[in-house]
Each structure stands twice: as C-alpha cells, then as structure tokens.
Amino acid sequence: MIAFLLSALMAVGAAAGSDSEKEPGEVKSGREGVAEVEKQYKVLKDPALQERLDRIGKPIAEVANTVVVPASYGDSKIIKFEYTFKILDEKDINAFALPGGFIYVNKGLLDFVESDHELASVLAHEVVHAAHHHMVALVKQQTKLNNKMALVLLAALLGKMPSADVGNIMFGATLVQIAKMSSYGQEAEADADRAAVVYLSKTEYNPVGLLTFIERLSRTTEIYEEKAGIWQTHPFGGDRRATILAKLKELKIPIARRQVSNTLKAMVATKSVDGRDVVEITIGEKVVMRVADGADGEPAAKRAERLARDLNNMLDSEAQYREIKLDGSEPMVTVRGVPLLRVSESDAQLSQSTPAEVAKRAAETIRAAAWKQMVDMLMAPMGSNLK
C-alpha cells in the first residue's frame, strides 16, 4: 500500500532531482516529509513493538541495499538508504514509505497481521517503494501531466474561449490527470508486490505472508471497485492476489497459507473439562475433536499436533468440501479417499459420545472450513485495498 502524502510529494519534487554531496536528494526530501508526518501524527513509543519492527525490517533493508531486483516501474538502481521503521498511533490498517527509506506503520496494521511473516511482507512492500524510487517516478509523471495541462489551458486562453469553456477544459483535464496518476500508482503497487516476494525469499520470512495479508485485507475493506472509479489509487485485491500468486509460482514457493496465518487453521489447545486436562483440535472457534492418548502409546498432545498438521496440509492443498467424507465402515474421516483422522473409543469417551458421532461432527467441521476457504478465495478479488 502506498500512501503518498501531499507534503512529501511536494518535497520530492523540490529535492529529488539533484543530489547533494552529503546525501541523495531523495533522503533530503524524505527527511522533509518525516517532519511533516510527525507534526500531524503521533509516533508510538513502545519498546517491544519497536524491537519487533526493527528486527523484522533490518534483514529486508539489507536485501534492498545489496540485491538488484529488476523494476517494472521506477528504477532498480541501488542507493544504500539507512532504512528506519516507525509506528504511528493510528487505528487504520495502513503503512507508507517516504523517499530515502523512511517507513511508517500504523498501530492498526500491527494489530491486524497474524504473524511476523505477514508483517515482514508489508515492510518489504514499503521498502520496495523506496528502493525502486517510486516516489521520484510518480513526481516525474505528475510534472509531465501538469505541463500538458498548462499547455491546454494556455491554448484555450490564447484562443479567447469563454470562461465557462475554459473551466470545463480544466475539469476534464483534471479527471484525465487523476486517471493517469491512478494507473501509475497501480504500476508502482504491482512492482512493490512482485519485488517484495523476491526480497522475502532471501530472508527467513515466508513470502506467502503477503498473499494471506492481501486476501484478508480484501475481505475486510468496505471500499469496492464500483464505488472507486478513476479515483482508485491502488489495484484491487484480485489484481494484487493474481500478481503475488504468479510471482510465488514463478519462484516455486509452496502456497502454505497456514504457515503464516491463523485463519481457518487447525490448532491444538489444552482445556480443563470437569477438573481434568483435555487436548482439543480446533479450527477457528469450532472443535474438530478431543484427542486421547494413542493406542501405540503416543501422548495425546503429540498425536493432536500430528493430526492438526495433516489437517492444515489438507486445507492448504485446497481440498474441496465434497472430497471430505466419512468412511462407511469405521469412524474415520477421509480426503480424496485417503484417511485423515480416525476416532478411537478413548477419543469418543472424552466427548461422552460414540466414535461414529464424533467422526461425523469432525467431518462436518472440516467440510465447513473447506467451504469457507473456497468462498473466501472467491470473494477476495471483489474487495479493494485501503487507500
């Protein structure tokens, strides 16, 4: 996401064109933008959150300063910026980059991400905006458009057109300018997504975090394409999702969503039931089953972790709900004809039920998760990103 503040944009236009002996013009303009941002917004001083941000951001910045990733928009020439990461005390799910490597993340975004992988993906995306000099490219495009508008206005005035006609020309030219700048912004966003996947692939952070973040963000935003028109400055969730998926597949990165996100993830928890500890597998708020020690002496917690891992691998394989079935001869759930989990007498006793009833409920819960996953993926392209 790219939130170009007007004050920062003006600063870039004034300073980005000429480098001083002490620091690049982008850094100078970025510092001017920093001053404006921190006049208007409160920087959150939270040592634990700041440590997390710096710890995740530093290796990404190192990649940006050493690895050339071809830019589809802007310029991939490396300028070694001293990247800084700060938190704004704002509830919106947003982040933005100023030229020269000054990255801001809203507190609302930190609350929204579900893992360090997702946070790393946001930081990588913003680092690309700085590393590929997107602000400078946008300013150059803006300048060209302004010059064209000035020529149109001059021609109208020299032609002694009525003031009403001149006003209409200016309004039309403004709409064209907005539409063109919107497309340039979308090109910058797409470049940031593609390069972010490459940056992340060279760190310990999983680039799939960018995919899960965008998918979930697309489902939660209330702004849709039909309401945005030419005013939209970012590509929509479906566009970004397709771009990210294509890059992940190009780099042969497995799409294992549950390694980076807790959405619809099978998880293991121990809870107290009637004064005794019981191990459960859950998906969201739904209990899949309670797990007892295995017949081979496998402890309940270890068995539950194994079953949850199998469940997550199955969901990551995008199995369809119709492929999740009950075995006809024993209390077992199968997927594509392969056994997924079997309910023992000891498991059923923990729920004061029969193995067949527990297996049936488990199958229904797993089917519901697979169905919701399918719907979420279909819905993701409908949502737009926050501005």
Confirm whether 140 is domain-assigned: yes
- pLDDT tens-digit readout, 167-193: 554 444 444 444 434 445 788 899 999
Three-state SS at 4: coil
Q: Tell me the pLDDT tens digit for each residue of 7-44.
A: 445 445 544 544 544 566 889 988 988 988 899 899 99
For residue 225, which of 1, 380, 3, 5 has the smallest C-alpha distance? 380
Determine the number of helices (DSSP H) and then strands (DSSP E) in the chain.
13, 9
Say whether pLDDT at 316 is over 80: yes
Residues 228 and 198 in one domain: yes
Determine, yes or no, domain membership for 385.
no
For residue 352, give both structure tokens. Answer: 């004061």
CA distances in angstroms from 353 to 73, 95, 199, 307, 356, listed in the order given: 61, 50, 51, 20, 8
**Type of residue found at 101:** G
Domain boundary residue among 212, 234, 258? 258
Q: For residues 236 and 314, state if they share a domain.
A: no
Does any domain span residue 59? yes
**Which H or E run contains 112?**
helix 107-112
Q: How far is C-alpha 2 from the chain's CA centre?
A: 12
Show Cβ contacts of residue 287 under 8 Å, excluding neighbours closer than 6 positions.
280, 281, 365
- Tokens 């089917």 locate to 367
pLDDT value for 135: 84
pLDDT at 220 over 90: no
- Report percent pLDDT > 70 for the chain: 76
The region of weakest confidence among 17-21, 44-48, 297-301 is 17-21
Say whether both 310 and 248 belong to one domain. Answer: no
Given a cut of 60, whether residue 132 has pLDDT beyond it is: yes
What pLDDT is stored for residue 140 in this prediction?
A: 78
Structural domain contains residue 279: yes
Are 250 and 275 members of one domain? no
- For residue 308, give both structure tokens: 């949850």
Q: Mean per-residue pLDDT for 265-282?
A: 92
* Same domain for 317 and 339: yes
Asked, for residue 44, whether it belongs to a domain, the answer is yes
- Separation between Cα atoms, residue 102 and residue 35, nearest integer Å: 11
DSSP reduced 3-state for 244: helix
Tell me: do 281 and 244 sit in the same domain: no
Specify the DSSP element, H or E, that contains 305.
Answer: helix 300-316
- Number of domains forming the structure of the chain: 2
CA–centroid distance for 83 within its chain? 20
Task: Classify residue 121: in a domain, yes or no.
Answer: yes
Residue ending a domain, choose from 201, 229, 258: 258
Please tell me the predicted confidence (pLDDT) of residue 267: 97
Residue 11: which H helix or E strand, with range? helix 6-15
| Within a domain: 39 | yes
For 33, 70, 101, 123, 132, the CA distances from 65, given in Å and listed in that order, are 22, 13, 10, 14, 11
Question: Are residues 270 and 254 both part of a single domain?
Answer: no
Unique residue bearing structure tokens 């998880």: 267
The answer on 155 and 303 residing in a single domain is: no
Residue 1 lies in a domain: no
Distance CA 167, CA 374 (A): 50
Write down the H helix ranges in 132-207: 134-158, 163-201
Domain end position, chosen among 258, 288, 321: 258
CA distance readout (Å), 379 to 191, 219, 370, 383: 24, 7, 14, 7
Same domain, 323 and 296: yes
* Same domain? 247 vs 280: no
150 pLDDT more than 70: no
- Measure the CA–CA gap between 181 and 230, rounded to whole angstroms: 9
| Token pair in block for residue 102 | 């000054």
Say if residue 23 is in the same domain as residue 158: yes
**Same domain membership, residue 276 and residue 234:** no
Q: Which domain holds residue 142?
A: 6-258
Please report which helix (H) or strand (E) contains residue 287, including its range.
Answer: strand 286-291
